[in-house]
């Protein structure tokens, strides 16, 4: 679900009968904890830079409905360029973990970094509790020690409930202010993500880092922006599709698709998928012809098609953008995904119907049917896609 420069990437997952193998992004700069331990504390400029990256990464996760719940310097890695990578999502919460009151109820986290409302066992906002942990990390980076610490757990939790962290006067007024507003024990009075990003101290030398390849960002303010990516080559042997890892495949199942929790439109309105035995090149060519005949513009970018058009009618004032991607499930089986980022849902549905008709697709498959009918068999003695188990 997560694709952001400040979050460790999950590239692939496979499994045998006894083990699950997860291939993660290689981050070789060590933990943020080690960097702080080596230096004692960071300069305010360096601490702010890393805190800005931390907030960019955490706020992106929250936008995807993911709450980390165990943020601490040991779970923040440093890459070779000195940028942070948030890792270890083993305790994270997803939208389906919310109670009927819209809050989380599981008490978890590391004692020195846990927010007071999490300890009260009355339900808590995952975003605000993560913000508290980010504030503890900021305190450690700038001051070189924990804001709340004691060997006795009861005393430690009393300090956290009180929220009276000692902030040295030698810190700049801006740094003192943002730490105080984050380490506010009352979550209703605590500064939120939007307010953090607008804070004067945070804004200094701030360079926003956006997610990787987010098609929803291709159109802004009603204007279709030029696509600057390198167009894919049609030379023989070039890969025009990418294989799914098992988590992506499972996530496509309608019963497990989490996007409906944080998208305004229903999944069925934004994403349509169907299977085809046609080669990827033929699929792309046929879809391009259909879209062009419908008066739309098509660009080939790496392993995707981007279909754009200006809907200038009275009922269609917004630009139109659809991304088409082909995934390989097996040697002769592909999934075609059409994903709308912007535009009239009715126009999008008409385009999908015309494409599926031109490709000879009788019905749009639910992904559960693919699991039952179309997945190739695997040798259970070796590493196999997790979904096959």
Catalytic residue set: 70
Q: Evaluate whether 17 touches 388 at the Cβ level (below 8 Å).
A: no
Which residues share a beta bridge with 7? 86
Q: How far is CA 13 from the centre of its chain?
A: 17
Q: Which residue has the tokens 């508290």?
A: 132
Burial class (CB in 10 A: 0-12, 13-18, 19+), 166: exposed
Q: Evaluate whether 77 touches 30 at the Cβ level (below 8 Å).
A: yes
- Quote the CA–CA distance of 178 and 201 in Å, as a whole number: 8
95, two tokens: 């939208």
Contacts 24+ apart (CB under 8 A), 310-319: 310/224, 311/343, 311/344, 311/347, 315/344, 316/343, 316/344, 316/347, 317/222, 318/222, 318/342, 318/343, 318/344, 319/219, 319/222, 319/223, 319/224, 319/343
Closest CA to 177 of 185, 169, 50: 169
Q: Which residue has the tokens 């992106």?
A: 60
Output DSSP code: residue 217. Answer: G
362, two tokens: 């009788």
Q: Which residue has the tokens 């002769």?
A: 332
175, two tokens: 């740094």
- Cβ neighbors of 44 (< 8 A, separation 6 or more) are 142, 171, 172, 175
- Quote the CA–CA distance of 327 and 146 in Å, as a whole number: 47
Which three-class secondary structure state does DSSP give residue 243?
A: strand
CA angle 276, 278, 283 (to 5 degrees): 90
Output DSSP code: residue 225. Answer: P
Which three-class secondary structure state does DSSP give residue 326?
A: strand
83, two tokens: 């940028």
């Amino acid at each position: 679900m997560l694709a952001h420069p400040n979050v460790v990437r999950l590239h692939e997952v496979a499994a045998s009968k006894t083990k699950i193998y997860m291939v993660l992004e290689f981050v070789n700069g060590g933990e943020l904890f080690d960097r702080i331990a080596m230096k004692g504390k960071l300069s305010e400029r360096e601490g702010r830079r890393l805190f800005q990256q931390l907030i960019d990464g955490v706020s992106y996760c929250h936008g995807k409905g993911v709450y980390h719940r165990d943020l601490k310097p040991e779970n923040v890695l440093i890459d070779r360029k000195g940028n942070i990578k948030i890792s270890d999502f083993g305790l994270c919460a997803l939208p389906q973990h919310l109670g009927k009151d819209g809050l989380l109820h599981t008490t978890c986290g590391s004692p020195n970094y846990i927010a007071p409302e999490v300890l009260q066992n009355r339900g808590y906002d995952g975003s605000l509790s993560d913000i508290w942990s980010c504030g503890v990390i900021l305190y450690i980076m700038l001051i070189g020690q924990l804001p709340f610490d004691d060997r006795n757990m009861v005393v430690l939790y009393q300090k956290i409930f009180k929220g009276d962290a000692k902030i040295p006067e030698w810190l700049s007024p801006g740094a003192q202010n943002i730490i105080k507003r984050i380490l506010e024990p009352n979550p209703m009075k605590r500064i939120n993500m939007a307010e953090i990003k607008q804070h004067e101290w945070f804004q200094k030398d701030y360079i926003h880092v956006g997610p990787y390849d987010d098609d929803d960002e291709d159109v802004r303010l009603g204007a279709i922006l030029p696509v600057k990516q390198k167009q894919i080559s049609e030379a023989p042997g070039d890969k025009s599709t990418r294989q799914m890892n098992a988590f992506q495949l499972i996530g496509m199942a309608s019963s497990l698709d989490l996007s409906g929790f944080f998208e305004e439109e229903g999944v069925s309105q934004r994403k349509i998928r169907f299977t085809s035995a046609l080669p990827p090149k033929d699929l792309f060519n046929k879809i391009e012809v259909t879209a062009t005949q419908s008066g739309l513009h098509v660009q080939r970018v790496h392993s995707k098609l981007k279909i754009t058009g200006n809907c200038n009618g009275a009922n269609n004032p917004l630009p139109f953008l659809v991304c088409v991607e082909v995934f390989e499930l097996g040697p002769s089986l592909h999934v075609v995904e059409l994903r709308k980022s912007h535009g009239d849902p009715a126009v999008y549905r008409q385009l999908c119907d015309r494409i599926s008709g031109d490709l000879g697709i009788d019905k749009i498959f639910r992904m559960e049917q693919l699991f039952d009918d179309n997945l190739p068999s695997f040798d259970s003695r070796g590493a196999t896609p997790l979904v096959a188990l």
